Amino acid sequence: SICNKVLDLTLLLLKQNNFPNAHSSPPPPPPPVDHFGFLENRTFQQRYLIADQYWKKDGGSILFYTGNEGDITWFCNNTGFMWEVAEELNAMLVFAEHRYYGESLPFGNKSFSDSKHLNYLTSEQALADFAILIQHIRKTIPGAQNTPVIAIGGSYGGMLAAWLRMKYPHVVDGALAASAPIWQFEDLVPCGVFSRIVTNDFKKSGKGCSESIRNSWEAIKRISSTGNQLPMPPQHLCSSKNCISQFLKDPSLSDKLLLQNIFQAINIYYNYSGVASCLNISHTATKNLGEAGWYYQVCTEMVMPMCTDGVNDMFEPEKWDFQAFSEECFKLWGVRPRPSWILSVYGGKNISSHSNIIFSNGGLDPWSGGGVTQNITNSLVAIVIPEGAHHLDLRSSNPCDPESVRQARALEVHYMKQWIGKARQRH
């Protein structure tokens, strides 16, 4: 993969030969484990990847990926957009790993052992790591002193890109925050918006789809209350685009047939080889994500209320129960969530005094419900990609791309060029 070819610079492993443009650049001082207090004076090794083959000292730029909850090579490999625009923007690419993920573990294999070691896993600490890393790169790579920097990220990484611009505008000149649900907190958006968008996606995908799923919950209850086991149907492997829809097109089937069809549909995602006899739906496709770390973050500051009502969505009704959530977090980690802190520190909906941020969102992406989908000012701009899912714009271009994502990417480049140009004038 492309990101195994780029330079993997742990802080103490900078190799001169691999990085010709930066031969006089010493490795950065390792970031402190705690930027916001002086008692904990240990430092740690933060991993980041650099690709400088497209970078030009004069008229160039730095595109800085604000790593999210996972191994940075994974995000590096899945952010083809940056590679594709690097030449046009004469850009140095930097992919910075988020502390507590991948190989950037502040306390090695003890990092997740208890709430004491997890105490420095916050977005504020991560932003400070990024800010200091950028300052170091600018200071030590010859010719990079005044190079404009654009922060780029998707999902949680998109939030970080936006917040980095908000909190450290002296460090990054603009941000592309792709599919960043910065408003999926407290009561900024209805807690059911996510489920509603998922339901709409199913509705769009075929007649009867969302109704089949909505009807299935009661069917499960009725069948399981009889004590009977549901005989599983034979596997119908299929590869067509509307495969799932085919199984879900008739919501009025008998309980037994309805559930057998749903099982078939689930198999397409969880058992496409057809060899699994039992499906573990807690296994996801994204095993590179650091799930323990993320769940700690969700239990502290990244509290995103979710609910379903079974009316506006196809799920079993479930209210958002903060108390229960808080108890669970306390049991798991010994900490209590602070649900309003993110609003206090990053501004909630009152962000109009900031500038130079693109918020892009896909219409099919349920996270778009917590995203910024309308322009706030002429430099806090929203781009909506109706046919897009979760940060499709950051992926490599593909012949099957809808026209809307092509346009979105072109517009993103347009804004980035504009901000890079203005930043260059200032220096």
Q: Which of 35, 390, 391, 404 is catalytic?
A: 390
* Contact between 30 and a second copy per CB under 8 A: no
d(CA 120, CA 99): 9
Query: Mapping DSSP to helix (H, G, I), strand (E, B) and coil, where does residue 382 land?
Result: strand
Decide if 298 contacts 81 (C-beta within 8 A).
no
Of the candidate residues 82, 351, 358, 394, the single one contacting a second copy (CB under 8 A): 351
Of the candidate residues 347, 382, 396, 417, the single one contacting a second copy (CB under 8 A): 347
Cβ-based nearer residue to a second copy, 16 or 350:
350
Tokens of 283: 């296994």
Residue 133 C-beta: closest distance to a second copy, Å: 10
d(CA 49, CA 150): 16
Cβ-based nearer residue to a second copy, 132 or 198:
132
* Contact between 131 and a second copy per CB under 8 A: yes
* Contact between 354 and a second copy per CB under 8 A: yes
Cβ-based nearer residue to a second copy, 39 or 281:
39
Tokens of 326: 């808080």
Of the candidate residues 25, 61, 104, 122, the single one contacting a second copy (CB under 8 A): 122
Residue 41 C-beta: closest distance to a second copy, Å: 6
* Contact between 135 and a second copy per CB under 8 A: yes
* Contact between 252 and a second copy per CB under 8 A: no
Return the residues of window 283-342 that contact a second copy according to CB under 8 A: 300-301, 335-336, 338, 341
Residue 423 C-beta: closest distance to a second copy, Å: 10
Name the residue with tokens 């499709």. 392
Decide if 218 contacts 210 (C-beta within 8 A).
no
Which stretch of DSSP H or E encloses residue 66?
strand 61-66
Residues 6+ apart with CB under 8 A from 5: none
d(CA 157, CA 135): 19
Residue 403 C-beta: closest distance to a second copy, Å: 34
Q: Which of 8, 313, 365, 393 is catalytic?
A: 365
Phi and psi, residue 377, nearest 5°: -140, -175
* Contact between 353 and a second copy per CB under 8 A: yes
Return the residues of window 371-390 that contact a second copy according to CB under 8 A: none
Q: Which of 104, 111, 155, 179 is catalytic?
A: 155
* ∠ CA 90-392-301, rounded to 5°: 95
Residue type, 235: Q
Strand order in the sheet with 149-154: 7-9, 48-51, 91-96, 61-66, 149-154, 174-178, 357-362, 380-385
Say whether 136 is catalytic: no
Cβ-based nearer residue to a second copy, 36 or 322:
36
From the list 50-58, 116-124, 195-203, 275-283, the region that binds a second copy by CB under 8 A is 116-124
Of the candidate residues 170, 241, 283, 331, the single one contacting a second copy (CB under 8 A): 170
Which stretch of DSSP H or E encloses residue 4?
helix 2-5
Q: Residues touching a second copy: how many (CB under 8 A)?
A: 42
Cβ-based nearer residue to a second copy, 35 or 47:
35
CA 76 to chain CA mean position, Å: 13
Residue type, 241: K
Count CA atoms closer than 13 A to 225's CA, side-chain side. Answer: 7
Say whether 396 is catalytic: no
* Contact between 140 and a second copy per CB under 8 A: no
Cβ-based nearer residue to a second copy, 90 or 115:
115
Decide if 336 contacts 153 (C-beta within 8 A).
no
Cβ-based nearer residue to a second copy, 131 or 314:
131
Which stretch of DSSP H or E encloses residue 303?
none
Cβ-based nearer residue to a second copy, 184 or 261:
184
Tokens of 393: 């714009």
Name the residue with tokens 């010994």. 334
Cβ-based nearer residue to a second copy, 130 or 247:
130
Task: Say if residue 69 is exposed, middle or buried (CB neighbours under 10 Å; 0-12, 13-18, 19+).
Answer: buried
Name the residue with tokens 């484990």. 33
Of the candidate residues 55, 75, 156, 168, the single one contacting a second copy (CB under 8 A): 168
Residue 340 C-beta: closest distance to a second copy, Å: 8
Say whether 71 is catalytic: no
From the list 4-12, 52-60, 113-121, 403-411, the region that binds a second copy by CB under 8 A is 113-121
Decide if 125 contacts 34 (C-beta within 8 A).
yes
Provide the annotated active-site residues.
Answer: 155, 365, 390
**Residues at the interface with a second copy (CB under 8 A):** 32, 34-39, 41, 115-116, 118-120, 122, 124-125, 128, 131-132, 135, 167-171, 300-301, 335-336, 338, 341, 344-345, 347-348, 350-355, 426
